[in-house]
Structure 1
Amino acid sequence: MISSFFSKAKPIHLVVVSVLLLVVFVMTKMSTIAEAFSVELFFREAFLFGVCLASLFVLDFFVSKNNLTKKNSYKILMFGLFVAVLPESLLNSKLLIANLFILLALRRIISLRTSKDIKKKLFDAALWISLATLLFFWASLFFILIFLALLLHSIVDIKNWIIPIVGIVCVAIITASYMIVMGVDFTPYLQGFFDVSFDFTPLNSKRIIVAATILLSYGTWASFYFMRNIKHQLKSYKPSFILVIISSLIGLLIILVSPYKDGSEFIFLFAPLSIIMSNYLEIIPEKWFKESLIVILILVSVMNLML
C-alpha cells in the first residue's frame, strides 16, 4: 500500500518522487514547448528540472530538521502529487525559481526557533525573499513571515528587526548597480512588474478547475486538523506550525492577486500544503481513508496529464 510505503522516511522515497517529477516535467514540457529541439533548449529545461528537484530536497530537509512532521515521507509525496495534479505549475520558469528561493527563506525562518545565529538567519531569509521578489513581485508578501517570526519568538532586540531591511537594501543596491553597469534599461524590467489581476477567466479549463478544487478541498479540510493540533505541540515548536499556516494563506493570496492566471501561480501553495497534508495523514486512523486520499490524487494526476 502506498501510505504504508511512505510511512517511514527512506532515501528510496526521494528517488521515487524525483522520478515522478521527471515524468510530469517531461510530459508537460513535451505538450507545451513549440520550438525545435536544441542543445540550448535541453540545458535550459534540465536546469529548470534541477530547480524542481532542489525544491523537493529543500522542503524535505527543513521539514525533517525542524520536526514539522513525523519521520515519514508524506511531505515529499504530497509535493510531488500536487505538482502532478496541476502540471501547469511547472510552466513559468520565473515563478519556479522564485519558489525555490522562498523555500530557502522558509528554511531560515523556521529555524529561528533554535535561537542560534539569529542575525545570520534573518539576513539570509530577507536575501532569498528579495531575490524571489526580483523575479516575481508578489513573492514579497513572504516578508510578512520574517517579522511575524520575530513576534512569535519574542525577539525584541531592535537590531534584529533592522537586519531584514538591510538584506533587502543590499539586494536592491547590487541589482541596481548591475543594471547600471551593464546598461540595462529599467523601464522594460519594471513594465508590468507590479501588475495585479483578478481576472480568473484564463483558469476556466476543466483540468485547472478539477485540480484547484482538489487542492483547495484537501487543504481546507486538513487545515482544521492542523490548527487544532498546534495546541498540542511543544511551546518552542508552536511558532513554526503557525508560520506554516500563514505561508499557506500567503500562497492563496498570491493566487488571487497574481497577474499570471495559468496555474503556475499555485506553486507557492504546494510546500505549506504538503506539510499540512502530511500532518493530517499521520493522524488518520483508518488506513483505507488515508489510502483513498492518496489514490484520488494519483488518479487526478494521471487524468490531467492525459488531457
Structure 2
Amino acid sequence: MLASFFKKSKPINFLIVGLFMAIYFIVANFLDQNTAYSWQFLTKKIGYLITYILLMVVLNFIVKRNTISKKNTYTILLFGFLTTLCLPVLQANELFIAAFFVLLALRRVISLRSGLEIKKKIFDASLWVVVASLFYPLSILFLILPFVGIFYYAIQDFKNLFIPLVAVFCVYFLVTTGYFLVLDTPFYLSQYFVFPSLNLEVYQEADVFIPLIIIGLFTILSLFFFLKELQLTIRKRKPMLFLIFLFFIIGLLLVLLSPQKTGSELIFPFIGVSVIGTIFLEHKGGKILKEITLGILGLAVLIIPFVLW
C-alpha cells in the first residue's frame, strides 16, 4: 500500500512526510522532562527543525532535477523513515546544518554534467563543503565529491583541480579574520581537527542498535539492486549514481572516524541510503517485496519510539 501510494509525486505526499518528521522531531527534542526551556533553546530547536525539513526538500530536488529517480516520493519517504527511527539523529542539531550544506555541494557537483559554468560550480561545491565543516569538522571528507566530479565532467582542464583548494583557502582566510576581529585570537587548525575515536558504545544502546539492524538489512537489500543498476545503466547516468554511492561511502567513513560518536552522525549515510533505496523501490517486479519492505519500516517507525525512547 505504501509503495503504491508514494509511487506518485503529489503535494499531499510531501505534507504527510513533512508532518510526521516534524512530530517525531518535537517528541524527541521538546518532551524531555529534564530539558530547561528558554527562548534561546526554542529558537535554536525551531531553526534545526526547519533545516531538517529543508534537507528533505533539497534531497528531493536533487534526485528529481537530475532524473536520478522517477517521478515518485520514495526518496523523501525513506529519508523520513530512516531519520525518525533513530532518536540521536533527530537530535543532530548542528549536524542538520552541516548535512544541508553538504547536500548543496552534491547538487552543484552533479550539475557539472550540463557543461555550463564549470569553474563556478566546482568552487561553489567546494565552498559549501568547507562551510559544512565549520559546523561538523569531519564533513570536510565530502571534499572528495568535487574532485570526483572534476574527474567525470571537467578533467580536460587540469587547472580545475586547484579550484577546491582555493575555496578552502577563502573560508580559512575569512574564519581567521573573523577570529581576530571578534575574539582577538588566531584560529588554530588544532581547534578544528580532533582525533577519531573507535568507541562504539553508543551503537550498542537499544535505541540505536535495533533501528540499525532494520536499516542495515534494508541497505544491503537496496545495494544489491543499486549496484546492478549502476552496472547496467546508460553511460550518461552512471556518474550521477556513482556520486550518490560515493556520498554513502563517505558518510559511513565519517561515522567510523567521528571523534565523539552520539549516533547523530548517521544522518550522512542515511541521506545516501534514501536515494539508494529509491532505486530498489523503482526496480521492475517484486511489488510484494516492496510493500513488505516499506510496511516493515513503517511499523518500525510507529513501534520503536514508543518502546525504546
Q: Please, what TM-score do these two structures have when normalized by structure 2?
A: 0.94
Q: Distance in 2 between matches of 1:39 and 1:105?
A: 32
- Amino acid in structure 2 at the alignment position of 1:78: L
Alpha carbons of structure 1 residues 248 and 157: separation in structure 2 relative to 1, 3 Å: same
Q: Distance in 2 between matches of 1:32 and 1:120?
A: 45
Alpha carbons of structure 1 residues 17 and 126: separation in structure 2 relative to 1, 3 Å: same
Q: How does 1:125-274 map to 2 (within 5 A)?
A: 125-153=125-153, 155-183=155-183, 185=185, 190-191=190-191, 193-274=193-274
Deviation at 1:278, TM superposition (A): 0.4
- Maintained 8 Å contact 1:123/1:167: yes
Q: How does 1:96-135 map to 2 (within 5 A)?
A: 96-135=96-135
Alpha carbons of structure 1 residues 188 and 120: separation in structure 2 relative to 1, 3 Å: closer
- Maintained 8 Å contact 1:90/1:96: no
State the partner residue of 1:94.
94
Deviation at 1:284, TM superposition (A): 5.0
Alpha carbons of structure 1 residues 166 and 249: separation in structure 2 relative to 1, 3 Å: same
Deviation at 1:233, TM superposition (A): 2.3
Runs of 4+ off more than 4 Å: 184-192
Q: Distance in 2 between matches of 1:117 and 1:154?
A: 11
Name structure 1 gaps, 5 residues minimum.
none
Work out the percentage of aligned pairs sharing the same amino acid: 32
- Amino acid in structure 2 at the alignment position of 1:132: A
State the partner residue of 1:44.
44
- Amino acid in structure 2 at the alignment position of 1:174: L
Q: Distance in 2 between matches of 1:184 and 1:305?
A: 46
Q: Give secondary structure in 2 for the equivalent of 1:196.
A: coil
- Amino acid in structure 2 at the alignment position of 1:127: L
Q: Distance in 2 between matches of 1:15 and 1:75?
A: 14
CA RMSD between the two structures: 1.8
Deviation at 1:190, TM superposition (A): 4.4
- Amino acid in structure 2 at the alignment position of 1:42: L
- Maintained 8 Å contact 2:45/2:93: no
Deviation at 1:79, TM superposition (A): 0.3
State the partner residue of 2:9.
9
Q: How does 1:59-74 map to 2 (within 5 A)?
A: 59-74=59-74
Q: Distance in 2 between matches of 1:32 and 1:13?
A: 29
- Maintained 8 Å contact 2:84/2:90: no
Q: Distance in 1 between matches of 2:209 and 2:198?
A: 16
Alpha carbons of structure 1 residues 187 and 169: separation in structure 2 relative to 1, 3 Å: closer
Deviation string 1:22-41 (CA, Å, 9 cap, x unpaired) is 01101111344733333222
- Maintained 8 Å contact 1:133/1:140: yes
Alpha carbons of structure 1 residues 223 and 4: separation in structure 2 relative to 1, 3 Å: same
Name structure 2 gaps, 5 residues minimum.
none
Q: Give secondary structure in 1 for the equivalent of 2:183.
A: coil
Report the count of equivalent residues: 307
Q: Please, what TM-score do these two structures have when normalized by structure 1?
A: 0.94
- Maintained 8 Å contact 2:118/2:154: no
Deviation string 1:78-128 (CA, Å, 9 cap, x unpaired) is 000001111311213221210111111111111111111111111110111
Q: Distance in 2 between matches of 1:293 and 1:95?
A: 28
State the partner residue of 1:279.
279
Alpha carbons of structure 1 residues 185 and 218: separation in structure 2 relative to 1, 3 Å: farther
